Amino acid sequence: MENLTRHAPYTLPFAYLLAKLRNYLREKGEKMLCVKLKKFLVFSVMVFAVSSILFATNSFAEDKALFSDLTNHGAKIFGGMREIIYAVSGFGIVAIAIGGFFGTLNWKWLVAIIIGLVVIALTAGIINYMVDSDVITDEMITDSLISANDNQK
């Protein structure tokens, strides 16, 4: 098998790095890198073993509370992210409106913001449709027209 680094050292993306590593090993000595690598691997395995023993928890194989907790935390995170995304996209729409006022309306940005908002708004319905249940209920959604209608009563 011919040596690719001898004939065309810069044709492959990794050939240049191999040549640099080979030169480094020749300068510093191969044993030094091997000793450092072995020490690092031994240290990593020991840290993994100690942390696995010290921080061991139950597996929750039979407990279904784990999945309900994950669902609840996911809904909270999604709700918080949705509020942040709505606020940031509001600033984006204002910035695009200012650009339109000065004659530099960027339609790509406006369409990207609108599509992103539609996707975020429809995510709860898509998830409920895919899993065929009410994972995300109306009570969890507090920043849409559903809650706005409840507040008017």
- 15, two tokens: 């050939």
* Cα distance between residue 119 and residue 86, in whole Å: 12
Q: Which residue has the higher pLDDT, 144 or 43?
A: 43
Task: Read off the DSSP letter of residue 12.
Answer: S
Q: Is the dihedral of CA 6, 8, 10, 14 positive or negative?
A: negative
- 130, two tokens: 């895919």
Q: Residue 130: helix, strand or coil by DSSP? A: helix
- 9, two tokens: 């050292």
pLDDT of residue 122: 83
Q: Using 50, 70 and 90 to split pLDDT, how confident is the model at 86?
A: confident
